Amino acid sequence: MHSSAKIFSGTGSQYLAEKIANCYGIPLGRVSISKFSDGEIQPVFQESIRGDVVFLIQSTFAPSDNLLELLLMIDAARRASAYKVIAVIPYYGYARQDRKDKPRVAIGSKLIANMLTAAGADRVITMDLHAPQIQGYFDIPVDHLDSSVIFIPYIEQLKLENLTFAAPDVGSANRIREIASYFNAEMVICDKHRKRANEIASMVVIGDVTDRNVILIDDICDTGGTLAKSAGLLMEKGARSVRAMCTHPVLSGKAYENIGSSVLEELVVCDTIPLRQDIEKIKVLSVADLFAIAIRNAYEQKSITSLFIHAQRKAKEQQ
């Protein structure tokens, strides 16, 4: 029988892993990750993990060292006779490359899934995949957490009237519909057409936002261009205020500048990726408690259904 649960962190997610371990109620496990002079990574567990259920926390945001570090940690744990090795990936990188949308391109998210499985992961716990069907790329169990349960309490305490939820593109419509249904609110869609990645050619709003307090919801905020443009368009169409809530603050390029100069009241993000700078408009909500519960339930082989928005909506209806 496995003896205990142990939580370890890669270098990229140390700040979050410490919070998760604290919420779980155990100290973070000891692992040293050193580099040869040419940059080659070597993780070494500094304590026995034989027979243990090992949780390895690492988001795979850029640089790609974060992904390679996680793969090497999985391999090291497997070779150290861990009972189970569970990869906890708050932000799953390469998720935007989920299909062949043009000739001769890679399906990056499938490749990463293959690599994690080949390295020896028994299970993956992640949050808000860019495309939910990426779960099907794995031949091991995937617990796919939903950030809506973190954003909903925050939205409730705002006590906004005339609330409307907006999808920044057609692909996000299902995600928005769930939250709009929870609040019994209306929803609109900002339909955008891109010339190339990170560059919007045109955008239109489908639906009425006149005198509404609008909340844009998305999984990733990369350059902030879509959010800034959507917010400006919604205000032009008569919105009273526009906020945005995005799970993963990739925030590359001129993102901080774009968000800072936009008409957004605020951008609310999760701490799946660390911010590179603090600006007044960006507020961070932690996923630590949610992941700690998911880790405990995985270790104790309990259901995680209660962590999802549909379970919360059901509980709300029963009150």
Which are the catalytic amino acids?
192
Q: What would the two tokens of residue 193 be?
A: 């057409």
> 10: helix, coil or strand?
coil
> 13: helix, coil or strand?
helix
Non-local (6+) Cβ contacts of 159 within 8 A are: none
How many angstroms separate the CA atoms of 251 and 266, rounded?
14
**b/e 30-69 (16+ beta carbons within 10 angstroms → b):** ebebeeeeeeebebebeeebeebbbbbbbbbbeeebbbeb
Beta bridge partners of 192: 203
Write the CA distances from 65 to 32, 42, 60, 139, 239, integer angstroms. Answer: 15, 11, 8, 24, 43
Q: What Rg value do the Cα atoms of the chain yield, rounded? A: 20
> 104: helix, coil or strand?
coil
Among residues 178, 156, 154, 147, the alpha carbon closest in space to that of 165 is found at 178
Q: What would the two tokens of residue 265 be?
A: 């009241």
Q: How many CB atoms lie within 10 A of CB 229?
A: 18
